[in-house]
């Protein structure tokens, strides 16, 4: 909407049924039907006609808001009113609402613009003495009257080409360029060459066409070749005398120049603010498109947890965009009518920059998810190449009688809470929106996988590959799945043994360091052995005489006791730090009437019999010494402190600490 001359406004018709003498409210960008300043007969006698024959062609490969509105010659406040939903466009202008659904979609748009005639009211007719209905000026329903109309027609042919993930980028770009060159070669007024060479046929056969126009077509074109045939017939579709042309552009004269009591258009929005609003819509649409692409990609199709987050982001952006449009559509007429100042729009944009839908947060979140998708897709390709299958329904596998053991490469973080999505949900919820800005922390979520997580995922991939190729593993089914595990960010390997549904995180033992000689005496050597890693269930010492060929092995028994002692000590320290008391005498508390509930973290295996100690005791008894000497060699003592038991103890520790957090201040509850 542009000002022409002193106060006359020039604006696009956008498929709306403008006629000379119609009233218009520029505050709402809306026609005011049923009310006129002049009688119909008087109006018809004061119209001048001028032929204005002209045709233009434009082609663009861009789908940005700025480029689309520029193609239809729309800018300024009119653009803002369309974006806010104040104007319901028709005909060729519907092209403005057709946006790409995917960044994997190549698009070309051919715009046909034809003008036929120009009509205007004479200046004599605008004289105040010719006005028949003065009551219009007191109604405050309109600000302008239509004094000139340019007729013609617009048409937009939108060509889309879906690009598959396995297609060569250079090939696709070459095909689109061939189609672009064909469209670019079309000349206005010249005979259109409908023939296509082999390269062009290959290029356009995967292209679909959507038509938006001010023409009545027998049927809409759906292919590139259909579009060329329709394009060649467009001049004929205006009618033999171009009587089927529609209003393209109108000129609006301010009513306050005809009468001082008429309503006035008080304020236009500054260009800078219009650009800022346009940027809001562009960022939201871009995020929705990127989400659509990720939803079609392998990780989303394979894992519901990953898919759900992308889907929620897309839905949240759509809901917020509708809400922003509604606020904008309510605000603009008030600013135009000087009921509100332009600062109200500045505040709306400021609120947007403070909310969880601001552009930089959306861009950062999407960049992280795109990175995750690439990494997950790369891992999945390698895992399936190794022979693993992606399984979302784990129960189906575990209940299968033919499957005894299951080894799963497990993605652990898909179900973890997402900071930005949580803030968006709170912002969009009516019950929490009011205090969201005060209560919610700033968005500082790390997006994508950190370098440590990527390193861990790659390490697990190598281990998983070795397990698949191992000849010593029990028969097992190898799968890829997703299960939330808080202490293992990124991924871990999970074992389900003997058909059990109990998951055990597998951590391969590290190769122990070579023992250090501390003392040599006679026929004995005292060695110092480094503590084993947590995943080690048994540590054995290999030794031989230099001249011997075969190695002998002996279990390093002391490491068991040391490991058990150190680990129990660490658990005790954490329990004491939490506020629990160490006490073996429960009777003191059980007989205390003030204590109603007793919560006890109990080490249940410290008193279990020890095989080696039992054998030693029997060996040292004279009565059974002879009998023992005839027996087979004594079995090596095994530690009870296995990796799976350690994991269970950690889980119990977390539960115990949560109970202390909830009830630690209650005097009647004791924690031991």
Q: What tens digit of pLDDT does each residue of 323-332 get?
A: 999 999 999 9
Where do the structural domains in the chain lie, given as residue ranges?
2-8+19-63+100-265, 541-605+640-671
Q: Is the pLDDT of residue 606 over 90?
A: no
Q: Which two tokens stand for residue 631?
A: 């027996």
665 versus 70: which is more confidently predicted?
70
Q: What is the SS3 assignment for 242-258? A: CCCCEEEEEEEEEHHHC
Q: In the structure, what pLDDT confidence band is assigned to residue 383 with cuts at 50, 70 and 90? A: very high
Local confidence band at 443 (pLDDT 50, 70, 90 cut-offs): very low
Does residue 488 carry a pLDDT above 90?
no
* CA–CA distance, 32 with 22 (Å, rounded to integer): 7
Q: Read off the pLDDT band of 19 (50, 70, 90).
A: very high
Rg (CA), the chain: 39
Nearest to 108 by CA among 201, 49, 175: 175
- pLDDT at 440 (0 to 100): 45
Per-residue model confidence as pLDDT tens digits over 76-106: 889 999 999 999 999 999 999 999 999 988 9
Whether residue 402 is predicted with pLDDT greater than 90 in this model: the reply is: no
Residues 6+ apart with CB under 8 A from 526: 517, 518, 519, 520
Buried b (16+ CB within 10 A) or exposed e, 616-632: eeeeeeeeeeeeeeeee
pLDDT classification of 636: cutoffs 50, 70, 90:
very low
Task: State the virtual CA torsion across 215, 221, 227, 233 in degrees, nearest 10.
Answer: -40
Q: What is the pLDDT of residue 462?
A: 94
Average pLDDT over residues 11-31: 92
Rounded distance between C-alpha atoms, residue 657 and residue 653, angstroms: 6
How far is 22 from 38, CA to CA, in rounded Å? 10
Pairing mode, strands 207-213 and 597-599:
unpaired
Of 348, 354, 359, 355, residue with least CA distance to 287: 359
With 70 as the cut, is the pLDDT of residue 341 above it?
A: yes
Lowest mean pLDDT among 230-234, 244-248, 318-322, 602-606: 602-606
More confident residue, 483 or 400: 483
The pLDDT of residue 399 is 82
- Lowest mean pLDDT of 499-513, 538-552, 591-605, 621-635, name the range: 621-635
* Residues 610/638, Cβ–Cβ less than 8 Å: no
Q: How do residues 522-562 score in pLDDT, each as one tens digit? A: 667 777 777 766 566 677 788 888 888 888 887 775 445 56
Asked whether the predicted pLDDT for residue 289 surpasses 50, the reply is yes
Burial letters 326-346, b for 16+ CB under 10 A, else e: ebbbebbbebbbeebeeeebe
Helical segments of 234-358, H only: 271-295, 298-302, 304-336, 343-354
Question: How would you class 22 by CB atoms within 10 Å of its CB: exposed for 0-12, middle for 13-18, buried for 19 or more?
Answer: buried
Sign of CA dihedral 267, 268, 272, 273: positive
Phi, psi of 251 (to 5 degrees): -115, 130
Distance of CA 264 to the CA centre of its chain: 45
Cα separation, 289 vs 301, whole angstroms = 17
Positive or negative, the CA dihedral 231, 233, 239, 241 is positive
E strands, 489-582, in order: 491-496, 504-506, 516-521, 524-528, 540-543, 552-555
Using a 10 angstrom Cβ sphere, with 0-12 exposed, 13-18 middle and 19 or more buried, the burial of residue 27 is buried
Give residue 553's region: left, alpha or beta (phi > 0; psi -120 to 50): beta
Q: Kindly report the pTM of this predicted structure.
A: 0.74
Length of the chain counted residue by residue: 672
């Amino acid at each position: 909407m542009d000002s022409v001359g002193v106060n006359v406004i020039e604006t696009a018709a956008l498929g709306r049924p403008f006629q000379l003498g119609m009233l218009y409210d520029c505050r709402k960008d809306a026609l005011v039907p049923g009310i006129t300043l002049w009688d119909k007969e008087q109006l018809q006698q004061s119209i001048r006609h001028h032929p204005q024959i002209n045709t233009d062609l434009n082609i663009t490969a861009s789908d940005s808001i700025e480029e689309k509105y520029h193609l239809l010659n729309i800018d300024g406040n009119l653009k803002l009113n369309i974006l806010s939903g104040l104007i319901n466009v028709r005909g060729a202008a519907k092209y403005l609402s057709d946006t790409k659904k995917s960044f994997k979609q190549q698009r070309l748009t051919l715009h046909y613009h034809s003008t036929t005639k120009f009509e205007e009211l004479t200046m004599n007719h605008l004289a105040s003495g010719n006005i028949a209905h003065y009551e219009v000026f007191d109604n405050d329903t309109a600000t302008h009257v239509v004094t000139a109309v340019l007729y013609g027609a617009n048409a937009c042919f939108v060509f889309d080409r879906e690009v598959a993930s396995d297609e060569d980028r250079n090939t696709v770009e070459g095909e689109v360029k061939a189609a672009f060159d064909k469209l670019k070669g079309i000349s206005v007024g010249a005979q259109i060459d409908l023939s296509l060479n082999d390269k062009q046929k290959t290029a356009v056969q995967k292209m679909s066409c959507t038509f938006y126009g001010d023409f009545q077509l027998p049927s809409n074109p759906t292919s590139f070749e259909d579009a060329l045939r329709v394009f060649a017939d467009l001049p004929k579709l205006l009618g033999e005398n171009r009587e089927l042309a529609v209003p393209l552009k109108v000129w609006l004269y301010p009513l306050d120049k005809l009468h001082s009591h008429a309503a006035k258009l008080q304020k236009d929005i500054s260009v800078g603010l219009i650009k800022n609003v346009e940027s809001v819509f562009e960022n939201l649409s871009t995020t929705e498109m990127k989400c659509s692409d990720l939803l079609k990609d392998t990780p989303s199709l394979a894992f519901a947890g990953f898919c759900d987050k992308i889907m929620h982001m897309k839905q949240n952006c759509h809901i917020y965009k509708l809400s922003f449009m509604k606020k904008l559509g309510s605000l603009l007429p008030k600013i135009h009518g000087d009921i509100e100042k332009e600062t109200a729009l500045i505040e709306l944009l400021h609120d947007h920059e403070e909310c969880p839908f601001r552009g930089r947060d959306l861009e950062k979140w999407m960049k992280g998810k795109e990175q995750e998708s690439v990494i997950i897709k790369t891992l999945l390709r390698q895992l399936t190449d190794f022979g693993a299958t992606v399984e979302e329904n784990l129960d189906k596998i575990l209940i299968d009688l033919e499957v005894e053991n299951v080894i799963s490469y497990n993605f652990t973080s898909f179900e973890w809470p997402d900071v930005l999505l949580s803030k968006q949900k709170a912002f969009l919820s009516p019950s929490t929106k009011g205090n969201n800005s005060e209560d919610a922390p700033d968005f500082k979520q790390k997006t994508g996988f950190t370098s440590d997580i990527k390193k861990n995922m790659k390490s697990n991939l190598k281990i998983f590959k070795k397990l698949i190729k191992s000849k010593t593993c029990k028969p097992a089914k190898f799968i890829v799945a997703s299960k939330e595990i808080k202490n293992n960010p990124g991924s871990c390997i999970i074992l389900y043994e003997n058909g059990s549904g109990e998951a055990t995180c597998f951590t391969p033992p590290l190769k122990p360091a070579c023992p250090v000689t501390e003392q040599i005496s006679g026929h004995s050597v005292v060695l110092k052995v480094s503590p084993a890693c947590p995943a080690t269930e048994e540590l054995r010492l290999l030794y031989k005489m230099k001249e011997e060929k075969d190695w002998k092995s002996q279990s390093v028994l002391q490491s068991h006791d040391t490991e058990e002692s150190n680990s129990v000590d660490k658990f005790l320290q954490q329990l004491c730090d939490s506020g629990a008391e160490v006490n073996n005498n429960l009777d003191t508390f059980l007989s205390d009437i003030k204590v109603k509930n007793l919560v006890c973290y109990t080490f249940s295996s410290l008193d279990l019999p020890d095989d080696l100690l039992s054998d030693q005791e029997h060996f040292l008894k004279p009565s059974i010494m002879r009998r023992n000497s005839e027996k087979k060699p004594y079995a090596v003592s095994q530690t009870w402190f296995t990796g799976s038991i350690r994991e269970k103890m950690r889980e119990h520790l977390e539960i115990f600490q949560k109970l202390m957090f909830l009830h630690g201040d209650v005097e009647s509850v004791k924690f031991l």
